[in-house]
């Protein structure tokens, strides 16, 4: 791999490439061009070639890309050959849905524990996942050596919980709350604002209509 920073936009597309390469490999396809990838995943071929170029020479001109080799390459980059245990904080409507989510059938990502304050759910096994009380969160995360957490709790409680997660050794947080969170530089927080995404979609929808 080339010694250079990979743009965030490129990193976000890597799972998309990897997922489609797995589909091709399962179907028995041995090689694929950037044009074929472009048609399938709706990313223009120039962007695909530029993304791939950050990782060196992955294909051959006039031949394309070897599906299995490229799949295995991206699998290693995404640590898909290693099991990553994740903690879920907040088992409300969204949290419950995430417990059922199969992460695109990945065998490398597993929600191994969840935390909540509701007495009717704490101590139960929900969709195969044990739900612990919040006051045992730090202890359980340390015990299970978990480094990634998903946050689906009320926004007003989020920062306090993030501070506890950092104390427990969490290094990455997927934040589904609307709160602006702060953490030490060695902790990565990636926020998913569903309302913002929908409003952006609505804007583009109407913008495109007006342009037409």
Q: Where are the domains of the chain?
A: 8-76, 84-195
Tell me the C-alpha distance between 16 and 47, whole Å.
13
C-alpha to C-alpha distance for 89 and 119, rounded to whole angstroms? 15
Annotated binding site for NAD(+): 90-95
pLDDT at residue 212, as a whole number: 47
179: nearest Cα among 198, 195, 202: 195
* Per-residue pLDDT, 106: 58
Answering whether pTM is above 0.85, one says no
The structural architecture, per CATH, of the domain 84-195 is 3-Layer(aba) Sandwich (3.40)
Q: Which fold has domain 8-76?
A: Arc Repressor Mutant, subunit A (1.10.10)
Q: Profile the chain (212 residues) by mean pLDDT over runs of 10 residues.
A: 71 89 91 90 90 82 84 85 88 89 66 93 91 95 94 95 96 93 94 85 74 48
What pLDDT, on a 0 to 100 scale, did the predictor assign at position 107?
A: 63
Binding-site sequence positions = 90-95
């Amino acid at each position: 791999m080339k010694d250079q920073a990979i743009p965030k936009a490129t990193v976000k597309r890597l799972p998309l490439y990897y997922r489609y390469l797995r589909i091709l490999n399962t179907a028995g396809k041995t090689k694929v061009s950037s044009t074929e990838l472009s048609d399938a995943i709706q990313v223009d071929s120039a962007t695909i070639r530029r993304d791939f170029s950050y990782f060196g020479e992955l294909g051959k001109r006039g031949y394309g890309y070897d599906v299995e080799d490229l799949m295995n390459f991206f699998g290693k980059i995404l640590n898909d050959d290693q099991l990553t245990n994740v903690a879920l904080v907040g088992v409300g409507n969204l949290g419950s849905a995430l417990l059922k989510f199969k992460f695109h059938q990945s065998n490398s990502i597993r929600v191994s524990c969840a935390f909540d304050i509701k007495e009717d759910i704490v101590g139960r096994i929900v969709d195969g996942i044990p739900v612990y009380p919040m006051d045992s969160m730090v202890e359980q995360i340390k015990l299970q050596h978990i480094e990634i957490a998903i946050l689906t709790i009320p926004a007003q409680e989020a920062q306090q919980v993030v501070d506890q997660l950092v104390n427990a050794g969490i290094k990455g947080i997927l934040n589904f709350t609307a709160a602006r969170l702060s953490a030490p530089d060695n902790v990565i927080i990636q926020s998913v604002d569903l309302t913002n995404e929908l409003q952006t979609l609505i804007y583009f929808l109407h913008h495109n209509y007006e342009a037409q």
